[in-house]
Structure 1
Amino acid sequence: MAPSSFEEAQTMVTDEEKAVTSAGSAEQDVRVAEIHGLLRGAGNGLLSKLMSFQNVESRGIQPIPVDERTNTRTYTIFTLWFTMSLNPLPIVTGMTGTLSYGLSLRATSLVILFFSILCTLPVGYLATLGPRTGMRQMIQARYSFGYYLVSVPVILNLATLTGFCIIDSVIGGQTLSAVSGGHLTPTVGIVIIALVAMFICFFGIKVLHQYERFAWIPALIAIVVATGCGGKHLHEQVAVEAPAAATVLSFGALVAGFLLPWGALSSDFATYMHPHTPSWKVFAYTYGGLFIPSVPLMVLGAAIGGAVINVPSWSQGNDENSAGGVLAAMLQPAGGFGKFLVVLLSFSILGNISATMYSITLNFQLLIPWLVRVPRSLFAIIITAIVIPISIRAAASFFDNLDNFIGVIGYWASAFVAVVIVEHALFRRADCSTYEASIWCDARSLPSGVAALAAAACSFALVIPSMAEVWYTGPIALHTGDIGFELAFVLTALLYVPFRYLEIKLQGRR
């Protein structure tokens, strides 16, 4: 019989599971207290006071105890993903289709639509595991990649998320610079954006969810007004020839690289949801929150990219501050109000960068196990110190760096989601109770991870020849275009099945 109330639903969890997860929680509290004591001893009173605030999330990568999975506001998953996606980042991604790949607006829009429909599916599916397991995405990955070998996807994920933070910081910084008429340099803008994002990330999931609940409103207003002001020029598209199939597939790989990597962190934002939250709701809110804003904004970006050469003010803005300059030029007819909206657009990127930084702080603890003793919030400061100087450097050649980065990350992300989906759907029969919380940090009880890593690595024997990047085009891709991410997913999934059966047989356990 279904539970009749929220309280009754909680009592359905076994006492044993509560004991296991509560023990982990108590251990983490002790470790955090030790760190706080060290900080006080070092005289760092300000940082210690910040970390003692009630709303600062001290918990790290440990599975969330069932009695702490009490969030019943499932819609906050939607608002979080919606806010993460409602900013200039999808616009910039869409601009590459017409501006860099030379596709027509129609061709670019169709590629964006169909590849987005496909590539958002794994993100939504993996998010459903968060409430059921209470585990972050990369902790779940230990149940296929193992305790030690999970470090490989963790390193790749850290590089990917840091890359997105860099792109976000550059976009926000250049947009702030554009509204100031050059009085505020992109470098100063980058520093401002990164520091504000760090502040939001520092406090953790509660503050993050609260910020994302409302931050999409001014962003939506600014984008709608910008489209209205500049819409009269969007029809001035540059004439292009019919696209070659290879070019279409290569841009499709870029769209996949924009969406698929979110699958490596999608459940991070749902682990505090009540375990009896319907999976279809988690899937729908995640899928919709990512898909609904991303597709229209990428199409808008494609329209802007196709017209930018024919509109002098847009072209000048693009030369001076890339996409931020174009958006500022679009809002120029609105006068002072337009400048205010450009500022809102620049800060709309915070929804993406702060959520991405949040997942980075968790991945640091996974990379080196003893770092679990360090409070998660401290890593927000560390990653900000890394992002700022690299962002300043990346801003010098923004679109080239964007193409190189997003084009590459789709390959490893495809292989990763293939492994964790096959593991969950086939070997664990979609039963979340098989992710035993008591062994999350026990290397001897977890799989070795050899099957997962071998399947992913072997797939690259065909992925590499099928890649089409600015710096490398494989022999297969010369004829087909970039089909690397498709092959990475299919081949990894096929190879993982026999490899995993063999691993289970040799280890004598799942």
Structure 2
Amino acid sequence: MSVSDTTPKPGDDSLLDVEKNAARDGVLTRPSLEMPKKANSGAGLISRLTARDGETYSVDYEKHPRWYRRLLEAGVEGNGVKAVFFTCLLNLLPIPTGLLATLGYGMNFRDAALVILFFALLTCIPPAFMGTGGMETGMRQLVQQDTRLGGRYLVVVPLLLNAATVTGFCLLSAVVGGQSLAALNPGSVSPSIGIVITCLVALAVSLLGFKAVHFWERWTWIPSLISLFIAVGCGGHNLRLQVDAPPATASQVISYGCLIAGYFITFGGTSSDYTIYQNPAGVSKIRVFVCMYLSFLVSPVPLLILGAAVAGAVPNVPTWVPRFVSIFITLAIMIPCAFKVAEEWEEGLTNFLSVIGYWAGCFDAVTILELVAFRKMDYTTFDHAIWNVGRKLPLGVAALGASICSMGLVVPGMAAPWYTGPIAKTTGDNEFEMGFAVMALCYLLFRWIEIRVHGHL
């Protein structure tokens, strides 16, 4: 399979025929990124945020406004990052997530490790599967799925949810980084100052461009891994001092398993953002799936289990304690929120993972069903030229309606520090399982009706 150089005019209906013919001949066609010239096309930010039906933004350097070109010359990045999963997942964040199993849910270490492994093996499948679509379509995850599922306007709902999820993970990482700096510099660096330093370093790296980020993530896993080995070597002898805990109950297993699902399955909202940089010629989807699946497992799972081991020994070891415009907006949100989360770390992490697990499970269920049941695994049905043509996109009612229906069982199945539903009082937190199942069944029916009414995918 290769990429065609065919460059029909953006918005032209002939593009549909070109793509269909190319698909029949075994050629994946992508529309040109060239935007037709028009008066004052580069004047101001508004011109960069508007496009006529079927238009895509230009990658021509000279068409950018002068202020934007100066930012690019300074090294500010306007694109995404390349496919790096193993390295970017090798960080401290899984450790406090694993900590919740023994310290928060009262499980013994053996049961915690088994729950982590089992739910990780299961919930890494959806995001790895969804990531293969980026290689086939050349579109990022939310562009690839949401404009096909949520329509032109209702798509704002999953977009905001995904933005909140990514910001939440950044926030948690900032808290962990800030507390680590404070622990290494007692008396001179407070956790609040450490959080600010962590956020500013992350801001600087994010502005350097995808090549710099790729270089950063290619090599920073080495000092991260060395630091983890040193930490385990210094305090590892205390890990055997695990507290005695009875065998895990079904409620504990389901509740903590839901948190693990919330950790892994949320990658489904960004998986294709990494694989769009994979050359589709000669690259097997199975190979991409296996690489992504193993990356999800190999990096975080051992750290999750390490976190469970650390938390299991905490009671017995008294000396242990627990795109550039949007980047600045995110930073302004993260720092004050991180201060608050740091004050109530365990409760904040539990609330965050439990809530995002629900919406991410629903999103993954809809995405997989749309591709498998309605598009028959045919990636050529994703038409690039209609990305902003509302009349040719789905209404979005099926996905939103299925989400609303699933709330009928999700809310009673929730078990969070701020609310416990009647079902969860007996079974434990099962909102993820409830949401995934109900969402899938409702979406199959509603999407079938939507296609019949709308007349097309």
Return closer, same or farther for 1:310/1:59 CA change in 2, 3 Å cut-off: closer
Which of 140, 143, 148 in structure 2 is aligned with 1:139?
143
- Quote the Cα distance in structure 2 between the aligned partners of 1:202 and 1:216: 20
TM-score by length of 1: 0.77
TM-score with structure 2 length normalisation? 0.86
Q: Pick the structure with more helix per residue.
A: 1
Which residue in 2 is equivalent to 1:51? 72
Matches within 5 A, 1:422-433: 422-433=369-380
CA contact (8 A) 1:32 1:58 kept: no
Q: Deviations over 1:151-178 (max 9, x none)?
A: 1111111111111111111110110011
8 Å CA contact 1:202–1:378 kept in 2: the answer is no
1:156 aligned residue (154, 161, 165): 161
Q: 1:262 aligns with which of 255, 267, 291?
A: 267
- Contact preservation (8 Å) 2:105, 2:256: yes
Deviation at 1:50, TM superposition (A): 3.0
Deviation at 1:298, TM superposition (A): 0.5
Q: 1:272-311 counterparts in 2 under 5 A?
A: 272-276=277-281, 277-311=283-317
Match of 1:466 among 413, 416, 420: 413
The one of 335, 340, 348 aligned to 1:388: 335
1:104 and 2:108 matched: yes
Gaps of 5+ in 1: 4-8, 39-43, 61-70, 323-375
What is the CA distance between 1:275 and its match in structure 2?
2.3
Matched with 2:95 is 91
Please tell me the residue identity of whatever aligns with 2:232. Answer: T
Asked whether the equivalents of residues 124 and 297 of structure 2 are also in contact (C-alpha less than 8 Å), the reply is: yes
Q: 1:391-406, aligned counterparts within 5 Å?
A: 391-406=338-353
Deviations 1:187-221 (A, max 9, x none): 11111111111122224433322221111111111
Q: 1:36, 1:48 within 8 Å by CA — same for their partners in 2?
A: no
Question: Is 1:22 matched up with 2:32?
Answer: yes
The amino acid that maps onto 2:336 is P
SS of the counterpart of 1:408? helix
**Greater shift after overlay, 162-171 or 196-205?**
196-205
Q: Check the 8 A contact 1:92/1:301 in 2, yes or no.
A: yes
- CA positional deviation for 1:47: 7.7
Q: Aligned letter for 1:21?
A: P
**Cα distance 1:206–1:442, how it changes in 2: closer, same or farther (>3 A)?**
farther
Contact 1:176–1:186 (8 Å) recurs in 2? yes
* CA distance in structure 1 between the aligned counterparts of 2:358 and 2:46, rounded to whole angstroms: 40
- Which one of 82, 85, 106 corresponds to residue 81 of structure 1? 85
Q: What is the Cα deviation at residue 233 of structure 1?
A: 0.8
SS in 2 for 1:83: coil
Q: Deviations over 1:68-126 (max 9, x none)?
A: xxx9xxxx63xx21222211110110011000110000110010000001111111011
Counterpart position of 1:499: 446
Q: How many residues align?
A: 421
The residue type paired with residue 98 of structure 1 is: T
Alpha-carbon shift at residue 33 of structure 1 (Å): 6.7
Q: Which residue of 2 aligns with 1:326?
A: none
Distance 2:272 2:165 in 1: 17
Match of 1:349 in 2: none
1:435 maps to a residue whose letter is F
- Looking at structure 2, the residues matched to 176 and 386 of structure 1 have their Cα atoms a distance apart, in angstroms, of 21
Q: 2:318 aligns with which of 295, 312, 323?
A: 312
Q: Distance in 2 between matches of 1:392 and 1:211?
A: 27
- Displacement of 1:496 in angstroms is 0.9
Counterpart residue identity of residue 378, structure 1: V
Give the Cα separation in 1 of the matches to 2:154 and 2:67.
37
Cα distance between partner residues in 2 of 1:171 and 1:295: 18
Separation in 2 of the partners of 1:25 and 1:414? Answer: 37
CA displacement 1:235-254 (0-9 Å, x = unmatched): 10011122211111101111
Pairing partner for 1:229 from 231, 234, 251 = 234
Which string of whole-angstrom CA distances, capped at 9 and with x for unpartnered residues, describes residues 461-508 of structure 1? 111111111111111111111111011111111111111111011111
Match of 1:208 in 2: 213
- Residue 477 of structure 1 corresponds to 424
Residues 146 and 482 of structure 1: CA distance in aligned 2, closer, same or farther (over 3 Å): same
Contact 1:204-1:377 within 8 A present in 2 as well? no
Offset, 1:19: 9.0
Match of 2:195 among 185, 190, 198: 190
Equivalents in 2 of 1:313, 1:448: separation in Å? 57
CA distance in 2: counterparts of 1:32 and 1:388, whole angstroms: 34
1:445 is aligned, of 378, 382, 392, to 392
- Could you say what secondary structure the match of 1:257 adopts? helix
Relative distance call for 1:180 and 1:439 in structure 2 (3 A) is same
Deviation at 1:57, TM superposition (A): 3.7
Which of 173, 178, 184 is the aligned partner of 1:179? 184
Report percent identity of matched pairs.
Answer: 43
Secondary structure of 1:238's partner? coil
Q: Conserved in 1, the CA contact under 8 Å of 2:134 and 2:140?
A: yes
Alpha-carbon distance in structure 1 between the residues aligned to 2:429 and 2:36: 49
1:24: Cα distance to partner? 5.4
Taking a change above 3 Å as real, the CA distance of residues 131 and 310 of structure 1, as seen in their structure-2 partners, is: same
CA RMSD, Structure 1 to Structure 2 (Å) = 2.6
Would you say the 8 A contact 2:127–2:267 is kept in 1? Answer: yes
Q: For the Cα contact (< 8 Å) 2:415–2:429, is it kept in 1?
A: yes
1:344 corresponding residue in structure 2: none
Deviation of 1:31 (Å): 6.0
**C-alpha displacement of 1:13:** 7.0
In the aligned structure 2, how far is the partner of 1:26 from the partner of 1:58? 20
1:11 shift after superposition: 4.7
- 1:278-336 superposed Cα distances (whole Å, 9 cap, x missing partner): 2122212221112111111110110000001111211xxx1xxx2xxxxxxxxxxxxxx
Amino acid corresponding to residue 108 of structure 2 in structure 1: S
